[in-house]
């Protein structure tokens, strides 16, 4: 059979099958469209429409930060600093003996006793006084946690009361035997049995603060601090003495 005869037979056959091929192609096209549509429902679109974005964000939780500027919490202070923070040496020294460490000789020995003492020289919630000369920044873990909680509660309170943020300043921490001797040389009245020798006790200034936001110079900062300290004392976490001469709160963990 010659090639032109084969072509003639093929063309005749195609004419005969033309309708069937046409219907077959249509059916195949519809089937493919159905499959593509189904896949589009299963797989999420990489670029959601604007309507879809609105629906999704409507399910996100509302931020729970307090709106300090909207309704600031009131500042009440305490009725009397002396009455609210009366814990004298005889009370505090008992807790210092209970929770404290053996007195440390000097700074080098404090650094060696890492299993008993925590270095508190760097913390976002409070500042160690740059001029702190007669003590070293170490506390027992219980007292270090208390100090951090006071610093954090203070920032929280300032925020909810709408007061510019300030950090408390720690003016005295652990006194080594060397520090105590030097203090006694300068001040004969300095107690050799100070709570500061045991790592349980620290002082927080009430008349100086490290400002984070706009500086505040009136008594507002002291009022808020006294509220925070009163709460910690009432929770049974510490003993506190209001020290008028030193301008600080003298605090021992309990």
Cβ 251 to Zn ion shortest distance, Å: 8
**Residue among 179 and 203 whose Cβ is closer to Zn ion:** 203
**CA atoms in the 13 A half-sphere facing the CB of 162:** 9
Specify which residues 249 forms β-bridges with: 204, 242
Cβ 160 to Zn ion shortest distance, Å: 29
Cβ 205 to Zn ion shortest distance, Å: 11
Residue 239, Cβ neighbours under 10 Å: how many? 25
**Residue among 96 and 110 whose Cβ is closer to Zn ion:** 96
Cβ 121 to Zn ion shortest distance, Å: 18
**Residue among 158 and 171 whose Cβ is closer to Zn ion:** 171
**Residue among 158 and 248 whose Cβ is closer to Zn ion:** 248
Cβ 59 to Zn ion shortest distance, Å: 53
**Residue among 158 and 172 whose Cβ is closer to Zn ion:** 172
The answer to whether 238 touches 146, Cβ cutoff 8 Å, is: yes
Q: Which of 195, 234, 193, 241 is nearest to 83 (CA)?
A: 241
Residue nearest to Zn ion (CB): 250
Residues that bind Zn ion (CB under 5 A): 203, 250
């Amino acid at each position: 059979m010659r090639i032109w005869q084969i072509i003639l037979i093929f063309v005749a056959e195609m004419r005969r099958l033309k309708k069937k091929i046409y219907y077959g192609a249509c059916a195949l096209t519809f089937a493919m469209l159905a499959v593509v549509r189904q896949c589009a429902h299963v797989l999420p679109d990489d670029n959601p429409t604007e309507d879809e974005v609105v629906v999704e964000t409507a399910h996100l939780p509302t931020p729970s930060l307090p709106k300090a500027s909207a309704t600031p919490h009131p500042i009440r202070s305490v009725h009397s600093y002396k009455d609210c923070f009366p814990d004298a040496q005889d009370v505090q020294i008992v807790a210092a003996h209970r929770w404290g460490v053996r007195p440390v000789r000097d700074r080098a020995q404090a650094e060696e006793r890492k299993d008993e003492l925590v270095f508190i020289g760097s913390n976002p919630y409070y500042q160690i006084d740059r001029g702190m000369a007669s003590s070293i920044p170490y506390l027992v873990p219980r007292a270090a946690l208390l100090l951090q909680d006071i610093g954090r509660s203070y920032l929280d309170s300032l925020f909810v009361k709408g007061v510019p943020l300030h950090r408390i300043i720690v003016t005295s921490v652990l006194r080594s035997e060397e520090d105590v001797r030097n203090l006694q040389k300068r001040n004969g009245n300095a107690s050799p049995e100070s709570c500061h020798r045991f790592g349980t006790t620290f002082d927080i200034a009430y008349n100086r603060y490290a400002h984070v936001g706009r500086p505040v110079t009136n008594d507002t900062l002291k009022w808020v601090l006294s509220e925070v300290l009163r709460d910690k004392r009432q929770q049974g976490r510490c003993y506190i003495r209001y020290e008028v001469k030193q301008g600080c709160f003298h605090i021992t963990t309990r």
